[in-house]
Chains A and B, each alone.
Chain A
Amino acid sequence: MTTPTLAVLVPLLPFLGAAAGLLVGRRAGGFARPLAILPTLAALALALTVAVHQGGGKVIDAATRLTPTGSVPIDLALHIDGFAALVAVLVTVVATCVQVYSTAYLRDDPRYASYAALVSLFTSAMLLVVYSGDLMVLLVGWEVMGICSYFLVGHYWETPEARAASLKAFLVTKLGDVPFLFGLFALAADAGTFRITGILDTVATGGLQHPTVIALLLIAGVAGKSAQFPLHTWLPDAMAGPTPVSALIHAATMVAAGVYFVARLLPVFAASAAAMTVLAVLAAVTMVGSALAALAQDDIKRVLAYSTIGQLGYMTGALAVGDRGAAVFHLLSHGAFKALLFLGAGVIIHAAGTNSLSAMSRMGGLPKRIPDAYWTMTIALLALAAMPPFAGFFSKEAVLVAAEHTALGDSVTAPAGAGWIVLLSGLLTALLTAAYATRLWLLAFRGHGPAAPDHGRQPIAMSAVLWVLAVPSLALGLAVGQLAGWFDVHALTPTVTTAVLGTGVAAVGGIMTYAAWRALRYRADGSVPLGAVAAHPDADPATSEEAAIATLPRALNSVRAGETPSAAYGDLAPAPDPGDPGRLLLGPLHRHAATGFHLDALYATLFVRPVRAAAELVRFLDREVVETYVRGARTLPRWLGTAVRRAQTGNVQTYLGALLAGSVVLAIAAVLVAAAGA
């Protein structure tokens, strides 16, 4: 088979798997697992083959006309360069890991079949986005991902949190997608084609009429999908979904799509210096803000969610300085270690029976219970904190190097101001990232108190996946020399200046957090130990997670009542935990950071309340105004009916009399008319 044929099969196989899973999964439960894993695994093999064939060399382009539209045609096109080949490998690797992990994680879930099918569909949509050479076809995958995320985040739809989170994720990303669609149309109108190659040619010859407008419209969609400020608020709430879904969304699919899209069309964005500056500012605000917020979260998954936002900020920053090689490199390494972090967090949540870090910090011996998760999480956290020689170090250095080059004026694609913004915020975020990674590790694995409940060994499907993902988290950075050949850019190797600076600030952040933790650890012992234990220790992990989510409103109420501190899934800051080093480090900022700097409250005031008020107004108009007209309209028929009813006496002779009178009148009228006409 030719390489394009193989490439077509890559998104097609998971799609067929999803269709088959949705059709037969409910009736034939035994088929659900093979139908989930095998197509994804086959897609992984094919994606690897495609990557080997492509080899970072010549771009593979293949197209067939999908439909003539009268103006700009839509093609089924493949456009596989080094970026597409590598990102597709990442997507399929993470998707396979998630599917395997889910078989154990949701082993008793009654809705497993539809869940696995939706994960397959999600994967297929992302692969479509990755391989597509036509923006309209890309948009199809883009939107299918939106609806899949809605279903998957709302997997536990019995809980109101999950319902609200899935709606929020859907609405916020759609809010970005509307300008995105307009941006695509404007781009196609200028370029005369939806094909990426055609658009890049147009940009190269300077044929783009309104680059700034188009770039800004597209950035809105990218911000929604990739959870950049100010449309990032859906991501932390999306933690109400099952943990494997979070891993999938955060590592490989949904959020990566936005960054990948910009990387593909970077020349379009680079044509407008204003757009690049906006992108840089967005990236800077996103990464610093989210890193501060991550330091203040109590829920382990929310910490990871904010860290995803921050790492996406790095990628956007790399794009803003015009280096898509660094952005996609960070996308790859982040995909590996963030998937590992989330899947490991799923194991921790199961073992500890709680999402709350402060509860875990009062639980001893967690590393002994889950040694696989302990070691792999340690690797992933080191990668997240960008410690050499882990993968995160090399990719983050690539971003910082690109920013430094731009700042010093060596770059032609991006303004120097953008470089400075990204470089400074990137260094600050490196410090904060190391701080919250250290905090997460210390609170989760170095807790004191009664031993964690023993649930036996974790299923092999879960532990094995963790080690599989640990390999790229460890070693992807060592492949940096080869990777540069896949991308169309200069070498991605770190320079001494940024390496010393970046690692230095990261080390400072880690040490500061450790010092704060040491200073506070004995204070924590005196407080009331948390009563957070697994609700269903023998059930599958997803059940205990669902129980943890469902019990949170109750926990929240106990917090308000001034009882034991506990976890909070909503937007409320968790109860004061005196042993939390983040509280000491952030000081008065902690209160604001814990709520995500009140952005949710701000949006509630700005958008939710006016919409609610408008709905109330419409309700009033319908009930009171429209209904009044309807009531008024019925009075006339009612009067007529009453009058007719009066005439109906039941006396046949009256009727006949009326009939006679009527006939006589008609006859006389006829005679008169005839006489008048004559």
Chain B
Amino acid sequence: MHLAYPAVLAALLFCVGLYGVLARRNAILVLMSVELMLNAVNLNLVAFDVWLRDTLHSGQALTLFTIAIAAAEIGIGLAIVLMVYRNRGTSDIDKLRDTAETAGEDHDPDDATEAPDGPAQKAEAAA
């Protein structure tokens, strides 16, 4: 089999995943898109491992490594999303903007007072 097929497939998968990460609003779908990108990489690794006839099969070994990391990542990621959903009632990424700098704080740093609702919001996010 020619190398072009798995390579093109991997590129397509990666692009789909990239689109999902950048454009989807649901956090779970974003995580799924990340998985797509990882698997695109895995596909590349396996394909090039075969093509290069590597005796140590380092590509395959790295693939297994990536799968393990992806499993751990999705486990933690889903747990975070679940907690965010329980606290906020939503998992829409566009609405999770607690780290945004609020405009209108443009004065001296030493006499800057925090926005009155700033700490409250942060505490809510941490809970």
Contact = CB atoms under 8 A, between A and B. Distances in A.
Contacts of B22: 653, 656-657, 660
Contact of B93 (A638, A645, A652): A652
Nearest to A659: B22
A64 interface: no
B100 interface: yes
B53 interface: no
B74 interface: no
A58 interface: no
Interface string A501-522: 0000000000000000000000
- Main SS class of interface, A: helix
A651 interface: yes
Interface residues of A, number: 13
Contacts of A645: 101, 103, 105
A651 B103 contact: no
Contact of B99 (A650, A656, A660): A650
Interface string B78-120: 0000000000000001101111110101100000000000000
B100 to A, nearest CB: 3
B101 A648 contact: yes
Interface string A38-60: 00000000000000000000000
Interface in A614-649: 638, 642, 645-646, 648-649
Given A642-B106, A645-B101, A646-B103, A651 B93 contact: yes
A622 to B, nearest CB: 20
Nearest to B107: A638
A650 B98 contact: yes
Contact of A648 (B18, B96, B99, B106): B99
B90 to A, nearest CB: 14
A653 B23 contact: yes
B101 to A, nearest CB: 4
A653 B99 CA distance: 13
B100 A650 contact: yes
B21 interface: yes
Nearest to B102: A645
B101 A651 contact: no
Contacts of A646: 101, 103
Interface in A584-626: none
A656 B21 contact: yes
A651 B94 contact: yes
Given A642-B106, A646-B103, A651 B97 contact: yes
B97 to A, nearest CB: 3
B97 A649 contact: yes
Contacts of A648: 99-101
Contacts of A657: 22
Contacts of B101: 645-646, 648, 650
A652 B94 CA distance: 8
B118 to A, nearest CB: 13
A650 B97 CA distance: 4
B80 to A, nearest CB: 12
A18 B22 CA distance: 82
A287 B29 CA distance: 104
A642 B21 CA distance: 28
Interface in B50-87: none
A649 B22 CA distance: 15
Interface string A299-332: 0000000000000000000000000000000000
A172 B99 CA distance: 65
Contacts of B18: 660
Contacts of B96: 650, 652
Candidate in A645, A650, A660 with the most chain B CB atoms within 10 angstroms: A650
Contact of A653 (B93, B98, B103): B93
A67 B40 CA distance: 83
A651 to B, nearest CB: 6
A546 to B, nearest CB: 45
A361 B22 CA distance: 103
Candidate in B94, B99, B100, B101 with the most chain A CB atoms within 10 angstroms: B101
A428 B22 CA distance: 107
Contacts of B94: 651, 653
A82 B9 CA distance: 114
Nearest to A649: B100
A21 to B, nearest CB: 48
Contacts of B106: 638, 642
Interface of B: 18, 21-23, 30, 93-94, 96-101, 103, 105-106
Interface of A: 638, 642, 645-646, 648-653, 656-657, 660
12 contacts: A642-B106, A645-B101, A645-B105, A646-B103, A648-B99, A650-B99, A650-B100, A651-B97, A651-B100, A653-B30, A653-B93, A660-B18
Given A648-B100, A653-B23, A660-B18, 14 more contacts: A645-B103, A646-B103, A648-B99, A649-B97, A650-B100, A651-B93, A651-B94, A651-B97, A651-B100, A652-B93, A653-B30, A653-B93, A656-B21, A656-B22
